[in-house]
Amino acid sequence: MKYKSRFLNIILILIFIITFTACATSAIIVSKKATTIESKIAFVSERDGNAEIYIMNKVLEQVRLTNNQAVDEFPCFSPDGSKIVFDSNRDGNAEIYIMNADGSDQVSLTDNLTDDMDPSFSPDGTKITFSSNRDGNFEIYIMNTDGSEQTNLTNNSKGGDVEPSFSPDGSKIAFKSNRDGNDEIYIMNADGSEQLNLTNNQTHDRFPCFSPDGSKIAFESDRDDNAEIYIMNADGSGQIRLTNIKTLDEIPSFCPDGSKIAFDSGLNGYYKIFMINVDGSELVSLSNVSANEWAPSFSPFAK
């Protein structure tokens, strides 16, 4: 009886230690409940050995859209959901490509010997903004969706200007620039005029993305030592941290009703796609394969 009691005590202590350790290491709660999303998400995955564009539907079923040995990344849906633009280095350097949302008819829109990256549609679907290194440093460009009339909007040789994102009314473009010595979120009129620094700090701020109502900009900042997802008003005021994860969290994308943000995070070892409410609550994992996955981009509603 005495032996049994001591044995029971040891078991209870072990259970306590195991439970305590599990709680201590899972301070970041990832929701385990069944998750669906309200529209599709395009993203990049290396699960087949190199970066390809994938898409997940509302019940998170995942389908590959590109299939080649090159890096295919940074997908963005057209406003009607019928097309996806992305960049690919399949011809030896990065070019902007467009394809149907099922992966068919992949066509290059740029053709030069430097990198063209980070494409994003205008809200009316008639233009694509992107970054290009053709002038010796990265600049934000804009072109028609058939690749015609490629125009330099930033014209700033002091630094790299990349990662453009249109405001929902089409009047503004947010982008990242390191012209002041470190990465900052800038905003300008869609014709390139009035380029303004919104973040103004000594750390790196990257990957701006407008909310669907245009009032907010989500972005990534490493001002707290490792990159976290932040949100701010579109004039740069009210900068608030949403994530608190001790790995890099990057490339936010708003869902169509503005209530959630998808991003990628190294929380589970590989970089994977996660989703979080805009108030920072309910972190949800959206994919679970052993490969790096990044750059999520929501489709419009009902597509």
Site residues (vs Ca ion, CB under 5 A)? 50, 52, 68, 70, 72, 93, 95, 112, 116, 137, 139, 156, 161, 182, 184, 201, 205
3-state class (DSSP) for residue 11: helix
For Cα atoms 226, 227, 233, give the angle at the middle one, nearest 5 degrees: 130
Q: Which of 31/67 has CB closer to Ca ion?
A: 67
The answer to whether the beta carbons of residues 147 and 109 sit under 8 Å apart is yes
What is d(CA 160, CA 118) in angstroms, rounded to the nearest whole number? 13
Q: Which residues lie closer than 8 Å to 150 by C-beta, 6 or more apart?
A: 110, 132, 141, 142, 143
Q: Is 137 helix (H, G, I), strand (E, B) or coil?
A: coil
Cβ nearer to Ca ion, comparing 205 with 249: 205
- Shortest Cβ distance from residue 70 to Ca ion (Å)? 5
Residue 206 burial class via C-beta count within 10 angstroms: exposed 0-12, middle 13-18, buried 19 and up: buried
For the CB of residue 120, give the shortest distance to Ca ion in the complex, in Å: 17
Q: Of 62 and 93, which CB lies nearer to Ca ion in the complex structure?
A: 93
Q: How many angstroms from the chain centroid is the CA of residue 165?
A: 11
Sheet holding 283-285, edge to edge: 30-31, 283-285, 270-277, 260-268, 249-254
Residue 68 or residue 259: which is nearer to Ca ion going by CB? Answer: 68
CB burial readout 89-113, b (16+ within 10 A) else e: bbeebbbbbbbebebeebeebbeee
Question: What is the smallest separation between the CB atom of 180 and Ca ion, expressed in angstroms?
Answer: 8
Q: What is the DSSP letter of 270?
A: E
Both tokens of 294, joined, read 């990044």
Nearer to Ca ion, 141 or 255 (CB): 141
- Nearer to Ca ion (CB atom), residue 93 or residue 285: 93
CB of 225 to Ca ion, least distance (A): 14
Least distance to Ca ion, CB of residue 172, Å? 18
Give start and end residues of each alpha helix (H) in the chain: 2-25
**Least distance from C-beta 61 to Ca ion, angstroms?**
20
By beta-carbon proximity to Ca ion, the closer residue of 37 and 295 is 295
Minimal distance, residue 168 CB to Ca ion, in Å: 25
